[in-house]
Amino acid sequence: MRFLAIFALISLVEMATFFWVQSWIGLGWALTLAIATALIGSFLVRRAGLSVMDRFRSRVSEVGLPTRELSDGATVLVSGAFLISPGFITDILGFLLLLPPIRDQIYRILSRRFTGRVTVFPTGPTSKRVSQTGEEIIDVDGYEVG
């Protein structure tokens, strides 16, 4: 129910903002600006998304955890959702989420929040590992049934 209330509030604020902008620059220019921000935003989101995917592939091939890349990917995804939704406020938020300093700050917040909450188990040639609680873990990917 809270999500619906937030969605309705954002819609009302976006409509009020659109009417305010069109009263200053005219309806034609307001529509042109809304369409232009959607087109420019989709181009920038695509470009940022491809960059994140390249970094993700590179990190995975180095056998590293792509935590930064996952955070950036999620931020770019949310940015794209904001930019394709009609409205000037969501467009501003979408463009802000594409800025690297903003994504850096989001990554810092997320990494502080999830540090110590996620357990990472190494993968590789070993089939038996021990968890933090001392229980033995058997990796079934290395075994064939037959």
Mean pLDDT over the full length of the chain: 84
pLDDT per position as a tens digit, 118-140: 666 665 554 444 445 556 555 55
pLDDT per position as a tens digit, 60-79: 888 778 888 999 999 999 99
- Is the pLDDT confidence value at 45 over 80? yes
- Give the dihedral of Cα atoms 66, 69, 74, 79; nearest 10 deg: 180
DSSP sequence for 98-134: TSHHHHHHHHHHHHHHHTTT------SS--EEE-TTS
Cβ atoms of 98 and 44 closer than 8 Å: yes
Whole-number Cα distances in Å, 122 to 43, 107, 131, 134, 137: 37, 23, 11, 15, 11
